[in-house]
């Protein structure tokens, strides 16, 4: 083979190698480019996955809020703050569609907290949340809500002018110095099939991708569900603390709020007042026109309280026709002015068929009349009942607890027992006794009469007028032992109430003609404790009377009940009740024996001198009775 032949062969082989290298390079480039493309796709899918994960976490956060049953404003605040930041949204807010006498408008219900809105509020001076925002029928916000479609706009300035048309262009330009906001997205919100408002998102992106639209639609659905649940929670909560008939707060809420107000008042040493009022002649309205008109009168009272109370006042329906209002920071003179204004407004209220209605009003002031809130409530009641006794349709200021007569305290105690304590008496009977107490001045004769009628419930053989004789005898005996006026007044009240516990015992025990069983005797021995603990203990202003009643069956030698006290451990007033009660029991007819004459009764009492009674007490009592018998 010649040189040229060999050269051509070598060149041919070189060409083959070059061709192979070229094809190998092409294959390599193709693989390299494919790898780059795959890496980009993986990166893009990773970003999409991260974004989807963030969106899912955001939705989960809303679901967690719904499950926590938090108030609506807390739910909305969490929503608007959860969507910004990493999801590419600069700011977000929720605006409710509202209506007033001027028409529809938008109001910010929740707004994300960030530098963008802080700077805008500083420029606007009046924050957006405090503004009445315009709702233009053909504007982008109305279009999104009415058409139930998501609307995106790059005209940020136009969106601000739409809701705040009074803003000057220079102000809008200052607000929009943040160039990171490229568009606004408006998502309609519906709750319970009614237009709620719009969810506004300020985005850093010009375009709205299909996946983003799907996400925002899902997000809006979760917001709507959250709003519905939170709104239902608010309604249920409101029903739990409000009165169904009047819309005022109920007794439970009043008592809870009152505890907080007492704590606040003591902390800053600031008084507050309570106005108590009672609709006059509700029973007559019900009897004459029917309960529907009685309810109408009660609602009319509530409307007056709503329109006359300050925003910081708390008005509540306590039950029936009774209402209370707490006036924070108001002394008695200011409370009397407010109470008189309310009374006049009620008097000027005219109802169909019923005509004009009136109310009896009482006022008491915490830290002025007493620093015990239970006493304040009782004093308010007393003042209200005094208004009724003095002719109704008037306002009465409570007296300080130490200036209240024993008759007033006794009347209030009986009214409390008849109205608030669970004693087995018919409602008509309790109302009749309450009417007797309310209808007159707190005179002793009325109190004696009511006490006699209650005694006859468990002791039908009790003679009308017997309670008065007992009280007079006890007071006369107390004076022989130089008891103070306060001690004697407490004794008077105790004499009216000491057997009140018998009302809760089986009545057949008191009617038996045969000897009592041990169990029946033990039941009767419980009546001082029943009277003290179950009936009288909740009544704050007669706390000094309760120990007297609780110990009125203790014997001088320690053989009595319930605590086996002896000698000077027993209050002298309790000893007086025991000896007076025993004497009158002996001289009254009983199912199991005839009544004794006074002389025979005294002989039995003398036999227990030094055992059941203090000998000195027996001597004074015998002398007292014998002097009366002369």
At residue 100, the 3 state secondary structure works out as strand
By C-alpha distance, which of 261, 544, 541 is closest to 382? Answer: 541
pLDDT band at residue 557 using 50, 70 and 90 as cut-offs: very high
DSSP state for residue 609 in the 8-state scheme: B
pLDDT: which is higher, 434 or 50: 434
* DSSP codes of every residue in 477-494: HHHHTT--HHHHHHHHHH
The mean of the pLDDT values for the chain is 83
In this structure, what token pair is assigned to residue 370? 């007493």
- Report CA torsion sign: 294, 299, 304, 310: positive
Alpha carbon separation from 330 to 312, 327, 334, 370, 398 (Å, rounded): 11, 6, 6, 15, 15
Give pLDDT tens digits for 259-283. 999 999 999 999 999 999 999 999 8
Task: Give the HSE-up count for residue 276: Cα atoms under 13 Å, Cβ half-sphere.
Answer: 26
Q: How far apart are CA 582 and CA 604, in angstroms?
A: 10
Give the mean pLDDT of 33-45. Answer: 64
In this structure, what token pair is assigned to residue 466? 């017997």
* DSSP codes of every residue in 32-91: HHHHHHHHHHHHHHHHHHHHHHHHHHHHHHHHHHHHTT--HHHHHHHHHHHSSSTTSEEE
All structural domains of the chain, each given as residue ranges with its CATH number in brackets, are: 72-239 (3.30.450.40), 246-402 (3.30.70.270), 405-630 (1.10.3210.10)
The pLDDT value recorded for residue 4 is 54
Give the mean pLDDT of 237-257. Answer: 85
The pLDDT value recorded for residue 607 is 94
* DSSP codes of every residue in 356-393: E--EEEEEEEETTTBS-HHHHHHHHHHHHHHHHHTTSS
DSSP state for residue 596 in the 8-state scheme: P
pLDDT: which is higher, 362 or 244: 362
The pLDDT value recorded for residue 142 is 93
602-606: long-range contacts (C-beta < 8 A, 24 or more apart)?
A: 602/626, 605/579
At residue 364, does pLDDT exceed 70? yes
Alpha helix (H) residue ranges in 530-586: 546-550, 572-586
Query: Which runs of E-coded beta strand occur in 267-338?
Result: 272-279, 314-319, 322-328
pLDDT band at residue 579 using 50, 70 and 90 as cut-offs: very high
Rg (alpha carbons) of the chain, rounded to whole number:
42
At residue 1, does pLDDT exceed 80? no
Cβ-Cβ contacts under 8 Å for 183 (sequence gap 6 or more)? 152, 153, 154, 156, 202, 203, 205, 206, 208
Q: Is 410 exposed, middle or buried (0-12, 13-18, 19+ CB in 10 A)?
A: buried
pLDDT: which is higher, 456 or 73: 456
Out of 49-58, 427-436, 440-449, which region has the weakest mean confidence (pLDDT)?
Answer: 49-58
Give the mean pLDDT of 465-479. Answer: 91
Q: How far apart are CA 168 and CA 164, in angstroms?
A: 9
592-595: long-range contacts (C-beta < 8 A, 24 or more apart)?
A: 592/512, 592/513, 592/514, 592/515
Asked if residues 205 and 216 have their Cβ atoms less than 8 Å apart, the reply is no
By C-alpha distance, which of 415, 352, 353 is closest to 381? Answer: 415
First to last CA, the chain: 177
Out of 38-42, 183-187, 445-449, which region has the weakest mean confidence (pLDDT)?
Answer: 38-42
Q: How far apart are CA 224 and CA 467, in angstroms?
A: 69
- Report CA torsion sign: 550, 552, 558, 559: negative
Give the mean pLDDT of 354-366. Answer: 95
Q: How far apart are CA 86 and CA 428, in angstroms?
A: 71
Give the mean pLDDT of 537-559. Answer: 88
Give pLDDT tens digits for 157-202. 899 989 999 888 888 888 888 778 889 999 999 987 889 999 998 8
The pLDDT value recorded for residue 543 is 87
pLDDT: which is higher, 484 or 491: 491
DSSP bridge partners of 362? 276, 396
Give pLDDT tens digits for 383-415. 998 898 788 999 999 988 667 788 888 988 898
Share of the chain above pLDDT 70, in %: 84
Buried-exposed string 9-47: b where 16+ CB fall within 10 A, e elsewhere: eeeeeeeeeeeeeeeeeeeeeeeeeeeeeeeeeeeeeee
Alpha carbon separation from 313 to 277, 310, 330, 335, 378 (Å, rounded): 15, 5, 10, 11, 20
């Amino acid at each position: 083979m010649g040189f040229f032949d060999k050269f051509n062969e070598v060149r041919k082989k070189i060409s083959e190698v070059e061709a192979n290298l070229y094809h190998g390079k092409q294959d390599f480039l193709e693989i390299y480019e494919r790898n780059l493309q795959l890496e980009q796709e993986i990166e893009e899918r990773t970003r999409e996955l991260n974004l989807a994960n963030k969106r899912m976490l955001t939705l989960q956060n809303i679901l967690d809020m719904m499950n926590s049953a938090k108030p609506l404003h807390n739910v909305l605040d969490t929503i608007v703050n959860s969507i910004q930041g990493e999801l590419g949204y600069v700011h977000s807010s929720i605006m409710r569609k509202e209506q007033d006498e001027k028409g529809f408008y938008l109001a910010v219900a929740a707004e994300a907290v960030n530098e963008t809105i802080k700077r805008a509020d500083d420029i606007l001076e009046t924050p957006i949340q405090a503004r009445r925002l315009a709702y233009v029928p053909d504007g982008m916000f109305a279009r999104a809500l009415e058409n139930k479609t998501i609307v995106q706009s790059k005209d940020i300035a136009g969106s601000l002018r739409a809701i705040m048309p009074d803003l000057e262009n220079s102000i809008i330009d200052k607000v929009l110095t943040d160039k990171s906001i490229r568009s606004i997205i408006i998502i309609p919100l519906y709750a319970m099939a009614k237009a709620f408002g719009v969810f506004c998102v300020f985005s850093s992106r010009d375009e709205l991708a299909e996946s983003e639209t799907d996400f925002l639609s899902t997000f809006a659905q979760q917001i709507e569900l959250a709003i519905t649940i939170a709104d239902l929670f608010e309604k249920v909560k409101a029903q739990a603390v409000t009165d169904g008939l009047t819309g005022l707060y109920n007794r439970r809420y009043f008592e809870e709020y009152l505890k907080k107000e007492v704590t606040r008042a003591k902390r800053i040493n600031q008084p507050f007042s309570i106005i108590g009022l009672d609709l006059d002649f509700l029973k007559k309205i019900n009897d004459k026109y029917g309960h529907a008109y009685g309810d109408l009168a009660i609602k009319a009272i509530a409307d007056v309280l709503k329109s006359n109370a300050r925003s910081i006042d708390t008005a509540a329906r306590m039950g029936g026709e009774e209402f209370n209002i707490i006036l924070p920071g108001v002394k008695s003179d200011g409370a009397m002015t407010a109470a008189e204004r309310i009374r006049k407004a009620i008097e000027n209220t005219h109802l169909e068929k019923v005509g004009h209605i009136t109310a009896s009003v009482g006022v008491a002031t915490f830290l002025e009349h007493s620093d015990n809130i239970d006493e304040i409530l009782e004093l308010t009641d007393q003042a209200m009942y005094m208004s009724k006794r003095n002719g109704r349709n008037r306002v009465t200021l409570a007296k300080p607890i130490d200036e209240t007569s024993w008759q007033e305290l006794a009347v209030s105690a009986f009214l409390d027992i008849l109205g608030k304590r669970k004693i087995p008496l018919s409602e008509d009977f309790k109302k009749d006794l309450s009417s007797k107490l309310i209808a007159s001045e707190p005179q002793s004769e009325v109190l004696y009469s009511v006490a006699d009628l209650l005694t006859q419930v468990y002791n039908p053989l009790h003679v009308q007028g017997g309670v008065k004789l007992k009280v007079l005898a006890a007071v006369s005996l107390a004076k022989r032992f130089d008891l103070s006026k306060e001690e004697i007044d407490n004794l008077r009240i105790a004499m009216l109430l000491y057997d009140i516990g018998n009302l809760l015992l089986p009545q057949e025990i008191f009617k038996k003609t045969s000897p009592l069983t041990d169990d029946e005797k033990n039941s009767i021995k419980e009546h001082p404790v029943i009277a003290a603990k179950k009936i009288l203990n909740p009544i704050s202003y007669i706390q000094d009377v309760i120990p007297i009643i609780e110990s009125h069956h203790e014997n001088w030698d320690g053989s009595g009940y319930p605590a086996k006290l002896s000698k000077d451990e027993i209050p002298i007033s309790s000893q007086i009740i025991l000896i007076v009660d025993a004497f009158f029991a002996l001289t009254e007819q009983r199912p199991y024996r005839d009544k004794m004459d006074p002389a025979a009764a005294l002989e039995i009492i003398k036999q227990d001198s030094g055992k059941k009674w203090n000998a000195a007490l027996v001597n004074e009592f015998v002398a007292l009775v014998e002097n009366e018998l002369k």
